[in-house]
Chain A
């Protein structure tokens, strides 16, 4: 074997084995299940590959893994990944158990195989392929792998500030990337922020017989009012006063990039099983919302009796989880305060707790690193490449960008049907192999590329 591409293909089998190992280890950030074990496992996997590994700790935080592979030059490519996963519930909707990775029909099923353990493994396999092909990496490669991405990267900002020196880099590849419904490869330059709130209402000191509903509002009723008050059913606008005050409109370049994006709204509706989009949005309006509008989503609600049949109870307590996706320059702490004020103004006594907050971030479309990554992606895969100015999703890009100062671009293993965050999460094995090749070529080309604009 002489080309990096051939070495990348040769890595696929052992990489898949490594992914099985990682995916068998539960690592649910929301509950803490297996987090410490998974961090240790990630550390061992990097050590086995010859990296210099540090597993860092902060009180009350999931460990952070930093792994460094030396190179012929000091130029550094940084990979950001996370080893934590979403909770597997609802368990009965999985075809095979979430933490028993299973291959079916050329696809690997399991919680975390797509988001994000599969990506981590393709990148490590790429490092090994380049090492195998050339004997030595042409540039330094550093991995930063956190364990709290799925709960809002609570401590990631503190970690990166503390270990800023170890994270010095000239370009950064972010955790994810997918092939769209037309099999085009997406390169993503930004993320939305998030403000994830836990709401709790205590209406009475105990559960009451529901006949008292003639004179007392129960917690369930008040929670319905509280949640309904957050968003206008007709337009989808968030009704919290001040919510839009800091929204920075997308730049002309970003709008232009967005307009070039393929957007198959009928396919998207079919995938999601809906008849239409919020506020009746169609075409570019819907895409504009997806990329540039902040959101408000009720992720969970619970009150009173939810078992079989009927129970005539006036519940004393109700809880809900609400997820706001933010755009530049909204501030999650400020949004939480605005929501508190919003409920107080309506006389609703709701306790509002911020469970996780991140700011949005977008890398400059004209940064040469963007062209480098897009070009390599097209060459390595033969796919049409689509540049998204931002993802509709979230990650701690802002935390890393402010410390590292390098351009950040996201590209990865996934595809449109991967069911991230849902039962039967999976990746396609062909995409997995393709991504190893792509990443290997990127490491190779990154070393000699012109990076600073102008």
Chain B
């Protein structure tokens, strides 16, 4: 491990240069920007890291998925899942450094994608290079599967997996990300929530009207507010009839793991930057809700005039973006059907519901030997206490990969609790990056045996 550590330190500047090359591609999936170029850059970096075969697959005009194969001394195969797309950088005015270049400041690496997920991708390639150059090769076979639609719900990922299924044979999978919590414990994550993301657009009148007509006509913004207010109660419960019907209660071992998670509402408050949690969701209930409850969140609202001063207008159109996080076994398409039925029942008329993407939740069986192998290796390499999270509160297309291939999937990586993923000033800590490269190299060595 010492020779790996020395190698990482000696070549750090080169690793950061590779990360900078990736960050400079503004691969915003939501806006369809820079995706081809970024995929080409990832392919080049895989080849530089010793891939013997890189396949860039395209389906239906979707951003390409890359499958890179690195041979090893044993046939045992570890699959890494990453994505090269990022969240939109907006609001631009709130960044202290440009979002699309790597800025090193105070021991941190700033830029859109540093923590989610380009930093992880580069740390993994760096681990392969360190192993090759210090041990003369990889101890096991390694596959990299890298997609470009993770931030928009991995729309085509399931089909890509089916198309590549015969080449994805593996014995375990390391998922895209990981984090150190506020007590500097390393998290190993064994599952994800699902998602259903929709846009609701209400059109109330034929055109924008003078707001004096508000005496006889309700505008689109008012109709939208009524519709949205009826989606969720102050206690966090989603009010759409049937929403909870498919929810499968967490398994006993998942509950046991959750009980051992040293997360409390104080940390969650710190992470959320607010003291005010949803009513009834403090203490252990906060942790339980965070891991095991589905959600309904308004991500965006837009109607009428929002510039400076007054405009007395009754806006014809109003839009909202709504994000439901799902738990096993909720089906995103069923959630859309239930939402539509609910809106119709409440009397909302002249609305359009656009489904932007859905994924199901997934949880790895915590009794699989891969789980203890990964957590032990992480602890040995970092000296950190590890925390086994039965699931992340976040989302990813784990179900698309883990369900058809029957793979155990665990996630760990470069992030930490304060890295502002999805927000302005996204960053990671340089020391975490180095530590992660060493950890992954150690994990590969343990996994091979």
Contacts and interface: CB of A to CB of B under 8 A. Distances in A.
A323 B395 contact: no
Contact of A311 (B87, B273, B302, B305): B87
B301 A224 contact: yes
A221 interface: yes
Contacts of A151: 309-310
A207 B271 CA distance: 11
Interface stretch (A12-20, A53-61, A102-110, A296-304): A296-304
A365 interface: no
What is the interface residue range for chain A against chain B?
35 or more
B307 A30 contact: yes
Interface stretch (A155-163, A226-234, A337-345, A437-445): A226-234
A87 interface: yes
Nearest to B225: A227
A281 B286 CA distance: 46
Contact of B215 (A213, A313, A325, A423): A325
Contacts of B207: 273, 419, 422-423
B273 A205 contact: yes
Given A227-B221, A299-B211, A307 B306 contact: no
Interface string A389-400: 001111000000
B222 A422 contact: no
Interface in B19-35: 29-32
Which of B215, B226, B320, B395 has its CB near the most chain A CB atoms (within 10 A)? Answer: B215
Contacts of A422: 207-210, 313
Interface string B410-442: 000000000011111000000000000000000
A86 B225 contact: no
Contact of B30 (A87, A300, A311): A311
A284 to B, nearest CB: 12
A436 interface: no
Interface in B203-218: 204-218
B427 to A, nearest CB: 13
B308 interface: yes
Interface string B292-319: 0101111111111111111111111011
Interface stretch (A124-132, A286-294, A403-411): A286-294
Contacts of A233: 218, 226, 347
A181 interface: no
Given A192-B212, A273-B206, A299-B304, A218 B298 contact: yes
A321 B307 CA distance: 10
Interface string A195-219: 0100000011111111111111110
Interface residues of B, number: 97
Nearest to A225: B229
A249 to B, nearest CB: 16
A210 B436 CA distance: 26
B236 interface: yes
Given A224-B228, A307-B31, A310-B299, A30 B309 contact: yes
B210 A321 contact: no
A211 B299 contact: no
Contacts of A271: 206
Nearest to B303: A301
Given A30-B308, A213-B325, A298-B303, A312 B217 contact: no
A304 B394 CA distance: 18
B328 to A, nearest CB: 15
B197 interface: yes
Contacts of B69: none
Contacts of B1: none
B268 interface: yes
B228 A196 contact: no
Contacts of B310: 30, 150-152, 196, 299, 321, 323, 355-356
Contacts of B290: 212, 214-215
B298 A304 contact: yes
Given A214-B295, A216-B278, A221-B297, A323 B211 contact: yes
B215 A211 contact: no
Contacts of A306: 300-302, 319, 321
A99 to B, nearest CB: 16
Given A213-B323, A301-B318, A310-B153, A220 B225 contact: no
Q: Which of A194, A300, A305 has the most CB of B within 10 A?
A: A300
B76 interface: no
A291 B90 CA distance: 44
A427 interface: no
A223 interface: yes
B256 interface: no
Contacts of B298: 218, 220-221, 223-224, 303-304, 315
A393 B206 CA distance: 20
A272 B213 contact: yes
B221 A31 contact: no
B314 to A, nearest CB: 5
A87 B307 contact: yes
Given A277-B216, A305-B299, A310 B305 contact: no
A273 B321 CA distance: 25
Contacts of B302: 301-303, 306
B345 to A, nearest CB: 13
Given A208-B273, A298-B303, A312 B151 contact: yes
**Of listed B225, B308, B392, B394, residue having the most chain A CB within 10 A:** B225
A92 interface: no
Nearest to B309: A30
Interface in A73-99: 86-87, 89-90
Contacts of A87: 305, 307, 311
B301 A220 contact: yes
A346 to B, nearest CB: 9
Contacts of A224: 224-225, 228-229, 298, 301, 320
Contact of A310 (B197, B230, B277, B289): B197
Contact of B210 (A218, A231, A281, A420): A420
A196 B212 CA distance: 12
A363 interface: no
B214 A297 contact: yes
Contacts of A302: 301-303, 306
A207 B295 CA distance: 17
Interface string B255-288: 0000000000100100111101110010000100
B356 interface: yes
B193 A211 contact: yes
User: Could you say which of B30, B298, B307 has the most chain A C-beta atoms within 10 Å of its C-beta?
Assistant: B298
Given A208-B422, A224-B301, 13 more contacts: A89-B305, A150-B310, A210-B299, A210-B325, A213-B296, A227-B222, A233-B218, A278-B218, A298-B225, A299-B221, A300-B303, A311-B90, A321-B304
14 contacts: A86-B313, A150-B312, A213-B297, A216-B277, A221-B297, A296-B222, A297-B314, A298-B315, A299-B313, A300-B221, A309-B30, A309-B152, A310-B151, A393-B212
Q: Nearest 3 CB-CB pairs, A to B? A: A273-B206, A297-B214, A220-B298
